[in-house]
Amino acid sequence: MAQLYDKTGGVFVLDHEHEGTAYVRPMVKVFTQYGYGDDVHEDESVEPAAYLVAMDRAALFDAPPEAVVDADIAAKQSELNAMKAEAEKAVRDLKTAKAMAERELSSATRQLEYWMQKHRVMMDLGKLLDGQVLYPLSISKNHYHHGPSVPHIPSMRRASYLTLTSGNFEEGKKWACKQYASDNYGSEFQFFDTEEERLAVIRSEFGVACDRFRKNPNFETASYTTGTTLHYGTLLEWVSTHPALQIPDDIKAMKAAHDAALVEQRKAKLAAELAALATSA
């Protein structure tokens, strides 16, 4: 019996033809079991079905339709490639849209940060009017040694007025508190939302002062020059004003070494003086 094939590769056995119609038996799988009890085995074989199927003879091939299958595969591959290209384009479009959204978000974030910095005093004013507790701190650069001055916390108890320097809140000028409306001696300061935030700024400024001290060590401790000279006594004033601070260990070690060297110098000088007295006697 002749075997025929459809374009999918299915196999049929030709029974007979009539006026362009082929009556075929599909090849089906047959499973045969043999054995007894638990020792059962199964064989698989393929044989023509017991029934007939009418098919268009032109749709059947005398040999496996490799060319037709290859053409079908090529068409499917082309379709898959088109789908893949469309998916890749969609991914590219999504990435482009994501990058644009990220740029817009970054720009909006910068604008918000700029606005919050430029108009910070107005935000402070709103918080004060709402009754929120804020934490003031005056920070300035020392005009003599050009490092940071010891920050101080303005007293609000004696203040009768809060003003904005130059009256220009649009430029983000600092606050100043005054006891009298005509008082022009108030130090500029800014508000912080939490005590921790204020302390973090104090620590940062102290770190800058310590770095400047390391570059040009000065172990004087005279209190009357702490406002004009960055020396060890100035660092002690920082710690005295803000007890949460501590002089770094390396600077303490530098001070100890300096003091020890001075002691040795004094010992040597005294020994020389004693020797001179003994000689003259």
CB 21 within 8 A of CB 54: yes
Question: Which has more pLDDT, 161 or 21?
Answer: 21
| Position 272 in a domain | no
What is the DSSP annotation of 5-24?
A: E-TT--EEEEEEEETTEEEE
Per-residue model confidence (pLDDT) at position 129 = 86
Question: Which has more pLDDT, 195 or 68?
Answer: 195
Task: State which H helix or E strand residue 100 sits in.
Answer: helix 66-118
Percent of the chain exceeding pLDDT 90 equals: 45
| Position 88 in a domain | yes
67-105 residue pLDDT tens: 666 777 888 899 999 999 999 999 999 999 999 999 999
Whether 96 and 59 share a structural domain: no
Strands 21-36 and 53-56: antiparallel
Range of the domain at 37: 3-64
Q: What is the domain count for the chain?
A: 3
Strands 53-56 and 161-164: unpaired
Q: How confident is the model at residue 172 (pLDDT cuts 50, 70, 90)?
A: very low
Structure tokens at 210: 């310590």
Mean pLDDT computed over 43-56: 90
pLDDT greater than 70 at residue 179: no
Question: Which has more pLDDT, 246 or 46?
Answer: 246
Mean pLDDT computed over 140-159: 86
Which residues on neighbouring strands pair with residue 14, listed in sequence order?
24
Give backbone dihedrals phi and psi of 75, rounded to 5 degrees, phi first.
-65, -45
Q: What SS3 state is found at 178?
A: strand
CB 257 within 8 A of CB 232: no
122-136 residue pLDDT tens: 788 888 889 899 898
- Decide which of 82, 103, 118 is a domain's last residue: 118
Structure tokens at 167: 């009256």
How far, in Å, CA of 232 to CA of 212, rounded? 11
Whether 133 and 172 share a structural domain: yes
Mean pLDDT computed over 230-259: 96
Strands 21-36 and 11-18: antiparallel
How far, in Å, CA of 281 to CA of 266, rounded? 23
Mean pLDDT computed over 104-116: 87
Per-residue model confidence (pLDDT) at position 164 = 66
Whether 106 and 233 share a structural domain: no
Whether 181 and 56 share a structural domain: no
pLDDT greater than 60 at residue 193: yes
Q: What is the mean pLDDT of the chain?
A: 86
Structure tokens at 9: 């590769």
Whether 24 and 85 share a structural domain: no
Q: How confident is the model at residue 178 (pLDDT cuts 50, 70, 90)?
A: low
Count of beta carbons in the 10 Å neighbourhood of residue 277: 9
In which residue are the tokens 């983000």 written? 172
Residues 6+ apart with CB under 8 A from 170: 118, 119
| Position 274 in a domain | no
| Position 23 in a domain | yes
| Position 273 in a domain | no
| Position 16 in a domain | yes
Structure tokens at 35: 């054995």
How far, in Å, CA of 166 to CA of 281, rounded? 75
Mean pLDDT computed over 239-261: 95
Closest CA relative to residue 4, chosen from 71, 39, 72, 56:
56
Per-residue model confidence (pLDDT) at position 274 = 87
CB 117 within 8 A of CB 170: no
Q: Within 18-65, where are the H helices?
A: none
| Position 111 in a domain | yes
Whether 87 and 201 share a structural domain: no
| Position 70 in a domain | yes
Closest CA relative to residue 161, chosen from 186, 133, 141:
186
